[in-house]
Amino acid sequence: MPAPVPPPPERPVLQFSRAETPPLNEEQSPASRSFSGVELIVRGLHHTHPPSAANHLRGILQNLRKAHPEKSAYITSVIVTQADTTRPINYAFISVNPALAAEPRPDILAELLPLLNAVPEIKGAGWRCCKNADRTLRVTFTMEKDDDLVAKRELVNKALNDRNIPWQGSYPSEFNGTKRLTYDLLDVDDVEKLLEKPPVINHVTLTPVRTRLVQPIYGLEVGILGGRDWQNMRASMDAYLREAYGRDAIAASRTELGGDLYTVVLKNWDITTKFLSDTEKLKGFFAKDPVTNSLRLTVPMFLFLMNSEGLSNRNNANILVSPQSRSNQDAQIQLLRKQGEETVQAFRTVIRQQQLVINTIQTQFRELVTSNIALHGAFELSNQVNRLDRRLQAERSELTACRMMKLATRDPAEVVAIEADIQKHTLAVDDLVAKVNEAESRYDAISTNLAHSLAALQAAGLSTESEDAIPSVPLVPDHIYLTQGDAAVALIADDAREVEQLVDRDDDMDGGGDEQGSNAKVTSESDAKDDTRMGDDLD
């Protein structure tokens, strides 16, 4: 029977040992940088080798410790971190040693800022604004789709060398069909020079693009993005923070990017963490105002992280308003848009109906004016016929008197004179008879036109595009004043029947004129017979 298997050991027994691979520098260990972003960046350092900048900065700190012994505690509390371990870079980072502080201590770094900026051999110090490389020194050139990046890169290098603009790194890239050349320069002043005067290659200007960043004013500065349409964003957010965390909770606040970004430096680390974690409380504050409730405001974030992710990047994970709330708001907006469109359509229908009413009234008015003109012309012609008839009766009386005088006169000379008068009056009678006939014909024509105008007026008042399209309107307005020449004719009618009665009355007058004309013709014929009989008697 085989021996039993022994139990396993508590820990594995290794048969060899291997020394751990230490980091390049203890200060560069990831564990020593637990508060990423609460750092200073110092530019303009030596960069002959990858560790040159960090070593140069350590030497500067040693000199500052000797020159300012009162700041020795602050200087010994920080560590220096190399920016890049593979290529020489002219800047390095300073952070607080996490072994000496259980929470971020930007106040220690703030004490070193004026000391570092007073050192003449560097290009200045400030708060680190983003992860990885210093993007304040970075410019990007966008190329055409058919450009050869390798050949174009050589041309850009030559253009920068000709202008004495050095760089510490460059690389080509292509994303979604867009080709780019990116350069990390040595000096911020050189970036400004390129922005003011872009390089020209083969008669084409290459416009540089700078990364969108906001320089922090303190290590724990917090920002909220998306308030461009919120006019009083800073005042409202300051009031909210003072009410939620105390009247002295704010150390400094500002708005950047044309009011799109609100940043705040709070009193201490505890208040800062509460503000970052109380997103539901902040959402409730935004929900009270319909303006803020409809904006795509991001959750509070450290400005360092916002710069790193990109200030134009507003993915759904960073939006404070939930997708469900956003969908409800979109549905409400769509409903309001639909209601607005229906209201506009209703207004257009009302305007169209009003236009139909106006057109109908205008047509009625034109037809009414035409009827008034015809009626006025009929009255004038009736008066003219009466005047001509009176003149005709007078001429006939004169003609009869002359004929009687001719019968009673035996003097040949007087007979000749009387015959001349008879001939003159006969011509006058014939002329007046012709004028009376012409006036009667014109009167008949005007009466016909008046009847047509009244029929058109009636049709204009009754015909519309739709029976329900427009409300009914009176056929004839209450008062219409018509002026023709120096005469003014006023017509007051309640409806079209009064106008028709006027036409019937004119027809009666027209008939009376015809009787007068017939009487005139009969009288003329009897006078002619009398003249014949008188001639026979004289013979």
Which range, 59-63, 329-333, 426-430, is most confident? 59-63
CA atoms within 13 A on the CB side of 90: 18
Task: Based on the fold, state whether residues 120 and 192 are members of the same structural domain.
Answer: no
Answer whether residue 259 shows pLDDT above 50: yes
- For the ranges 61-65, 369-373, 396-400, 489-493, the lowest mean pLDDT is seen at 489-493
Confidence band for 321, pLDDT divided at 50, 70 and 90:
low
Residues 281 and 169: their CA atoms lie apart, in Å, by: 45
* Nearest by Cα to 252 from 262, 265, 268, 263: 265
Q: What residue numbers bound the domain in which 272 lies?
A: 222-321
Task: Based on the fold, state whether residues 268 and 380 are members of the same structural domain.
Answer: no
Residues 179 and 165: their CA atoms lie apart, in Å, by: 22
**CB within 8 Å of 70: residues ≥ 6 apart:** none
Q: Which residues pair with 42 in a beta bridge?
A: 92, 125
**CB within 8 Å of 531: residues ≥ 6 apart:** 403
Q: Which residues pair with 92 in a beta bridge?
A: 42, 82
DSSP readout, 275-335? HHH-HHHHHHHHHTSHHHHTS-PBPPEEHHHHHHH-TT---TTTBSS-HHHHHHHHHHHHH
Q: Name the CA radius of gyration of the chain, rounded.
A: 55
In a domain, 216, yes or no: no
Tokens describing residue 290: 């319909």
Answer yes or no: are the C-beta atoms of 507 and 451 closer than 8 Å.
Answer: no
Answer whether residue 222 shows pLDDT above 70: yes
Tell me how crowded residue 501 is: count the other CB atoms within 10 A of its CB: 11
Which range, 16-25, 141-150, 326-335, 365-374, is most confident? 141-150
Task: Based on the fold, state whether residues 397 and 528 are members of the same structural domain.
Answer: yes
More confident residue, 490 or 93: 93
Answer yes or no: are the C-beta atoms of 415 and 406 closer than 8 Å.
Answer: yes
Answer whether residue 248 shows pLDDT above 90: yes
In a domain, 260, yes or no: yes
Confidence band for 334, pLDDT divided at 50, 70 and 90:
confident
Average pLDDT, the chain: 78
* Nearest by Cα to 93 from 105, 84, 104, 81: 81
In a domain, 336, yes or no: no
Predicted pLDDT of residue 317: 52
* Ramachandran category for residue 300: left, alpha or beta (phi over 0 → left; psi -120 to 50 → alpha): beta
Predicted pLDDT of residue 461: 57
Beta strand extents in 424-531 (DSSP E only)? 479-484, 487-492
CA atoms within 13 A on the CB side of 410: 0
- For the ranges 77-81, 437-441, 484-488, 523-527, the lowest mean pLDDT is seen at 484-488
Task: Based on the fold, state whether residues 451 and 390 are members of the same structural domain.
Answer: yes
Task: Based on the fold, state whether residues 185 and 245 are members of the same structural domain.
Answer: no
More confident residue, 388 or 318: 388
Q: pLDDT tens, 324-333?
A: 455 566 677 7
Residues 469 and 351: their CA atoms lie apart, in Å, by: 11
Answer whether residue 274 shows pLDDT above 70: yes
Answer whether residue 116 shows pLDDT above 90: yes
What is the CA 283 to chain-centroid distance, rounded?
Answer: 30
Task: Based on the fold, state whether residues 377 and 442 are members of the same structural domain.
Answer: yes
In a domain, 498, yes or no: yes
- Last residue in a domain, options 174, 189, 210: 210
Answer yes or no: are the C-beta atoms of 528 and 396 closer than 8 Å.
Answer: no
Q: Three-state SS for 528?
A: helix
Residues 378 and 451: their CA atoms lie apart, in Å, by: 12
Give the length of the chain.
539
| Cα dist from 230 to 224, 239, 241, 297, 313, whole Å | 12, 15, 17, 10, 19
Predicted pLDDT of residue 45: 95
- For the ranges 240-249, 280-289, 390-399, 501-510, the lowest mean pLDDT is seen at 501-510
More confident residue, 539 or 147: 147
Residues 142 and 495: their CA atoms lie apart, in Å, by: 80
Residues 393 and 386: their CA atoms lie apart, in Å, by: 11
Residues 282 and 491: their CA atoms lie apart, in Å, by: 76
Predicted pLDDT of residue 12: 60
Task: Based on the fold, state whether residues 483 and 410 are members of the same structural domain.
Answer: yes
In a domain, 5, yes or no: no
Predicted pLDDT of residue 111: 92
Predicted pLDDT of residue 99: 87
In a domain, 315, yes or no: yes
Answer whether residue 413 shows pLDDT above 90: no
Task: Based on the fold, state whether residues 314 and 450 are members of the same structural domain.
Answer: no
**Residue appearing with tokens 């150390």:** 251
Confidence band for 174, pLDDT divided at 50, 70 and 90:
confident
Residues 278 and 297: their CA atoms lie apart, in Å, by: 15
Residues 162 and 184: their CA atoms lie apart, in Å, by: 17
What values do phi and psi take at 76, rounded to 5? -75, -10
Residue 76, domain CATH: 3.30.70
Confidence band for 462, pLDDT divided at 50, 70 and 90:
very low
Predicted pLDDT of residue 386: 85
| Section 298-302 average pLDDT | 90
Predicted pLDDT of residue 392: 84
Task: Based on the fold, state whether residues 282 and 375 are members of the same structural domain.
Answer: no
In a domain, 12, yes or no: no
**pTM recorded for the entire structure:** 0.55
- Last residue in a domain, options 82, 107, 127: 127
More confident residue, 232 or 500: 232
- Helix, strand and coil in the chain, % to nearest 5: 55, 15, 30
Percentage, residues of the chain above pLDDT 90 = 34
Task: Based on the fold, state whether residues 482 and 499 are members of the same structural domain.
Answer: yes
| Cα dist from 466 to 356, 358, 408, 456, whole Å | 10, 15, 81, 19
Confidence band for 478, pLDDT divided at 50, 70 and 90:
very low
* Nearest by Cα to 93 from 58, 135, 136: 58
- For the ranges 241-250, 280-289, 321-330, 364-373, the lowest mean pLDDT is seen at 321-330
Confidence band for 292, pLDDT divided at 50, 70 and 90:
confident
Residue 181, domain CATH: 3.30.70.330
CA atoms within 13 A on the CB side of 417: 7
Q: Domain total for the chain? A: 4
| Section 265-291 average pLDDT | 89
Residues 443 and 382: their CA atoms lie apart, in Å, by: 7
Answer whether residue 36 shows pLDDT above 80: no
Percentage, residues of the chain above pLDDT 70 = 74
Predicted pLDDT of residue 395: 84
Answer whether residue 464 shows pLDDT above 50: no
Task: Based on the fold, state whether residues 238 and 364 are members of the same structural domain.
Answer: no
Which range, 180-194, 330-344, 456-470, is most confident? 180-194
Longest dimension (CA), the chain: 197
Residues 55 and 19: their CA atoms lie apart, in Å, by: 27
- Last residue in a domain, options 98, 127, 156: 127
Task: Based on the fold, state whether residues 362 and 315 are members of the same structural domain.
Answer: no
Answer whether residue 5 shows pLDDT above 60: no
In a domain, 412, yes or no: yes
Predicted pLDDT of residue 224: 92
